[in-house]
Amino acid sequence: MKKQLGQIPLLFPMPALLVGTFDDDGTPNAMCAAWSSICCQRPPCVGVAIRTSRLTYKNIVERRAFTLNVPTTGMAAEVDYLGTVSGKDEPEKVHTAGFEVVPGHKVDAPIIVDCPVNLECVGRNKLDIGSHTWVIGEIMEVHVDEHLVDRQGKVDVTALDPLIYCPSVRTYHGLGEQVGRAFHDGQVLVKK
């Protein structure tokens, strides 16, 4: 038997990503956003849900650029801080969190160097949904720490150890071990 929980935003796991932007005077800003996803293959695009009241939203609209930075489980406290403190109230919050930032190579947004994966995105579209606006960005460049990339260019997500957010209980977790291979393991069920 299943328990009905009602109409709630429940889906997991969700990546705990840091959305990086520059404000009006070039100060780096970052917020934690867990409601995000790859949303297109060609061109490669991501979507992230952001409240229009957030400084990050204003910065994206003005500069048409942002980065998505993938933190590790060891960064949970810093990520939580960036998700709970507003850049409007604490403009230096990225530095307070202890993160090093550099300007993007392809877009006008900061890369958080400490995060092992960074996606530089150009803002392409937005969709007002309700409490949040779905912001779509085209991925212009992807940066990955060298030790995480094998000779075929594949990222070792186990070694990456990305931070995961579980919205129903408001907790952070790690990813866990590999349990199968996509586009492969299901072939045993294909009738011959």
DSSP for 44-90 reads: TEEEEEE-TTSHHHHHHHHHSEEEEEE-BGGGHHHHHHHHHS-TTT-
pLDDT higher at 190 or 152:
152
Q: In the predicted model, is pLDDT for residue 120 greater than 70?
A: yes
For residue 65, count other CB atoms closer than 10 A to its CB.
22
Q: In the predicted model, is pLDDT for residue 166 greater than 80?
A: yes
pLDDT of residue 192: 63
The structure's pTM equals: 0.94
Q: In the predicted model, is pLDDT for residue 54 greater than 70?
A: yes
Q: Which of 13-17, 73-77, 176-180 has the lowest mean pLDDT?
A: 176-180
Domains in the chain, please, with CATH?
14-189 (2.30.110.10)
Q: Decide if 49 contacts 133 (C-beta within 8 A).
A: yes
Q: What is the mean pLDDT of residues 152-158?
A: 92
Q: What is the mean pLDDT of residues 155-183?
A: 89
Q: Binning pLDDT at 50, 70 and 90, where does residue 72 land?
A: very high
